[in-house]
Structure 1
Amino acid sequence: MLSSNETIIEVLHHATIQFNRYLSIIIYLFGTVGNILNVIILSQKKFRSNSCAFIFLISSIASLIAILSGLTNRMIAGWTVDLTSTINWLCQLRAMVLFTSRTIVLWLITLATIDRWLLSCFNVRRQQMRTLKTAQQCTIIIIIFSILLNAPIIYCYEANLLETPVQCYGKTAACRIYTDIMYGCGSILIPSLFMTSFSIMIILNIRKTRRRIGIFNISTNHVRRQRQTKKRDRRLLIMLLVQVTFIVVLTFPQAIQKLYATITLDFNSSSKSILQIAIEDLIFNFVVLLTYLANGLPFYIYTLSGGNVFRNACWQLIRAFGQTITCQNN
């Protein structure tokens, strides 16, 4: 007969395996398809010259890389041996690519909120600061920063570890403290705070602009192209604000878990009970999957909140694909 604790541990262990085995597959499929569609749609001519759309495009590529590099091995581990857990260089390469791409995604969305904030400012000089060239330069800086921030992972991570949440993990206490703080603060907490702050400032700017328009009763006739540009900018802003909300909600739990792991790091791991380790492993795996969910949602967020601008581009893509297949069959 199993004791109550042993039964709970077995249930927790089984739940962890099922999360990694089945939830990973679901997120992998809709996340990969969604990000590929994002890349194709945002590469179209109508979005190509828009700085915010360019940032969305690069963040979708980084999200796709994060899903492919992170979830592939999790699905494999649910059914057979995961080579990234047993081969050192694969472990280090996978961790470096995964954490770097995640950092790029969150800082790019932060950059997008700054871009929309500049657009919402009444000050013309600030509006003129947001250009495609500036967005491209800032994107390069973010990529370099993300690589440098995560570079110590190559030294810190090692395969075949025991008494860690996963076998490919930080090999020493100092490494775990650094990587946990680096990722929890540098890749999640700080960009999330920036995103939230600039999103609030955008909303305040929009309200101020509306009040000024109401006071001065400004009435201007814009050409059709200007109206379409403003409509596209407005939809991109809505898409951004919704995405920021989901990113903060889905990534914050992992930041908290990382900081908790750092604070409660015990150099004598045997002091932890088997039940406590099982609970922490389940929480670790669940919050990690939430971050992959954040990487997989953008296309569906854009489709639902992007209005006709994004949906029309999506339908045009589908129709073009259908016509191509029809021509090939004929």
Structure 2
Amino acid sequence: MSNRNLSSSSLFLATIDNITFHMTYYGPIILLIIGTIGCLCNFLTFTSRQLRENSCAFYFLCSSIFEFLSITFGLTSRLAADHFDYNLQHTNRIFCKFRAYFVTTIPLIATYLILLSAIDRYMSSSIHVYLRSFSQIKIAYRNVLIVIIIGLISCSHILISYDLRPKCATLRGIYTIFDGMFVVFWVGLIPHIFMLIFGCMILKNIRHTRQRRIIKMEIKHININQNQHQNYHKTDAQLILMMLVQIGLSSLLILTRMIYYAYYILGPLFTGDKKIIGSFLMSFTTLLYYTNYVKSFYIYTLTSQLFRTVFLQRIKEYIQKICGTRSKRSVELYRGK
């Protein structure tokens, strides 16, 4: 009976190990493909005339840029190290430091830009004119710059602590716990808790404000027609929906990763057969972590008719430009002959 248990346990561990191998190989490749496509489509959509002057859309655009940098740098370097014997991070001191720095800093900035979009939508949905005045594109430019600077500075300790020891790792002892908790709280818990808080406040604003009264009050003071107001309100509402769904899924994916990462840092060391299970959980939650920076385009497409319409219009514009350029070249060649 004991031999059977041993054989079944060995088979189970071998299966888990095999799943981990394929997951760490095919998972990053799949995420890279769909993530790169999604980020490029986001960039195409949020640079359209309809959205380029909207502060929330600008936060989404900047977040998409950092999401693209996160998945291309983070996933490619991890895939290369796991399956292609690319050990530069364990042999080159400079690459060790900067990889550790950027794989934390870039996702952090992308996350806080989504938090800014939540704050912006809270401001725009407020009944107070003073708060709504902060939802402007010129303020968004300044806020994005501030977040980038704070992100770069707050993670600067990584450049000092990480080194070849002999592999690329942080300082041992209490600093290892600090480094882990820095990621758990500063990248994971703090921004997503605030996202959820502002998400609830946005819903409260929507429930307790009379949009028609606000529009009538604004019409008395601002010389624009009713159709323009309705179009602006429709855009605003759909951006709020996009942002709320983004926050919900982001919180689920990131917090799942951070809960396990905190246990990995603070809990007992995995030994023996538990290492295989621990490796599987670490790889799985890492893929969830990067999935968070892949999903935005697909969320926006599913939740917003406005986003789909603008995206399709941009595709048509580029197709027309390409076809127009080709037709001009054909005419020029024909005339040359």
Q: Into which bin does the TM-score normalised by the smaller protein fall?
A: 0.7 to 0.9
For the 8 Å contact 1:180–1:261, the answer to whether it is kept is no
Cα shift at 1:157: 2.9
Of 112, 118, 121, which aligns to 2:123? 118
Distance, in Å, in 2 between the alignment partners of 1:175 and 1:43 is 42
**Pairing of 1:1-330 with structure 2 (within 5 A):** 3-87=7-91, 88-158=93-163, 168-210=168-210, 222-264=225-267, 272-307=270-305, 309-330=306-327
TM-score, normalised on structure 1? 0.88
For the 8 Å contact 1:65–1:98, the answer to whether it is kept is no
Cα shift at 1:176: 2.4
For the 8 Å contact 2:89–2:99, the answer to whether it is kept is no
Q: Point out the more displaced range, 137-146 or 56-65.
A: 137-146
Distance, in Å, in 2 between the alignment partners of 1:304 and 1:94 is 34
Q: Point out the more displaced range, 4-13 or 182-191.
A: 4-13
Distance, in Å, in 1 between the alignment partners of 2:94 and 2:293 is 25
For the 8 Å contact 2:125–2:202, the answer to whether it is kept is yes
Structure 2: 5+ residue stretches without partners: 328-337
Q: Deviations over 1:45-64 (max 9, x none)?
A: 22121111111011000100
Cα shift at 1:226: 2.0
Structure 1: 5+ residue stretches without partners: 162-166
SS in structure 2 at match of 1:320? helix
Distance, in Å, in 1 between the alignment partners of 2:95 and 2:255 is 28
Q: Which amino acid aligns with 1:323?
A: Q
The 1:297/1:120 distance shift into structure 2, 3 A limit, reads same
Q: Which amino acid aligns with 2:110?
A: V
SS in structure 1 at match of 2:33? helix
Cα shift at 1:304: 1.3
Cα shift at 1:6: 3.9
Partner of 1:164: none
SS in structure 2 at match of 1:129? coil
Cα shift at 1:155: 2.6
The 1:92/1:219 distance shift into structure 2, 3 A limit, reads closer
The 1:299/1:84 distance shift into structure 2, 3 A limit, reads farther
SS in structure 2 at match of 1:46? coil
SS in structure 2 at match of 1:242? helix
Distance, in Å, in 2 between the alignment partners of 1:151 and 1:16 is 32
Q: Deviations over 1:19-54 (max 9, x none)?
A: 110111111101011011111221122212111111
For the 8 Å contact 2:48–2:314, the answer to whether it is kept is no
Q: Which amino acid aligns with 2:321?
A: T
For the 8 Å contact 1:84–1:159, the answer to whether it is kept is no
For the 8 Å contact 1:42–1:54, the answer to whether it is kept is yes
The 1:312/1:6 distance shift into structure 2, 3 A limit, reads same
Alignment coverage as a number of residue pairs: 317
TM-score, normalised on structure 2? 0.86
Cα shift at 1:246: 0.9
Q: Deviations over 1:49-107 (max 9, x none)?
A: 11111110110001001001111123324541123443332232222112111111111
* RMSD of aligned alpha carbons: 2.5
Q: Which amino acid aligns with 2:278?
A: E
Q: Point out the more displaced range, 122-131 or 22-31.
A: 122-131
Distance, in Å, in 2 between the alignment partners of 1:78 and 1:293 is 18
Distance, in Å, in 2 between the alignment partners of 1:237 and 1:151 is 33
Distance, in Å, in 1 between the alignment partners of 2:273 and 2:150 is 39
Distance, in Å, in 1 between the alignment partners of 2:311 and 2:275 is 46
